[in-house]
């Protein structure tokens, strides 16, 4: 198969995923429960993708857990995202070296 076929299939798939909600929900959604549910879906999906990746990214579960703990602690104190990511990386690397 050619690359053009792959690109066409992916384009149609992406278009359909973005178009389907507009065809089903023509009016504003008034249900508070449904609005709350739909607003949390992106966070739930990102968490479901990210958490397993964190624990399989290093060779050791200990370094991954300590790096995650450092990231959560720094994020709790509302530090910038770059600082949180760098600190988690440094902690995970330091633990894996030791």
Higher pLDDT, 77 or 57: 77
pTM: 0.60
Q: Please state the rounded mean pLDDT for residues 68-82.
A: 95
Determine the Cα–Cα distance for residues 7 and 29; give it in Å rounded to an integer: 34
User: Are residues 53 and 77 in contact, defined by beta-carbon separation less than 8 angstroms?
Assistant: no
Mean pLDDT value of segment 5-9 = 93
Confidence of residue 98 (pLDDT cuts 50, 70, 90): confident
CB atoms within 10 A of CB 79: 14
């Amino acid at each position: 198969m050619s690359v053009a076929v792959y690109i066409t299939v992916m384009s149609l798939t992406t278009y359909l995923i973005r178009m389907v909600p507009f065809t089903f929900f023509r009016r504003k959604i008034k249900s508070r429960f449904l609005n709350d549910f739909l607003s949390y879906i992106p966070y739930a999906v990102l968490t479901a993708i990210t958490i397993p990746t964190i624990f399989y990214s290093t060779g050791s579960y200990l370094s991954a857990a300590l790096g995650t703990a450092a990231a959560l602690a720094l994020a709790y104190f509302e530090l910038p995202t770059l600082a949180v990511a760098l600190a988690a990386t440094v902690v995970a690397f330091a633990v894996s070296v030791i």
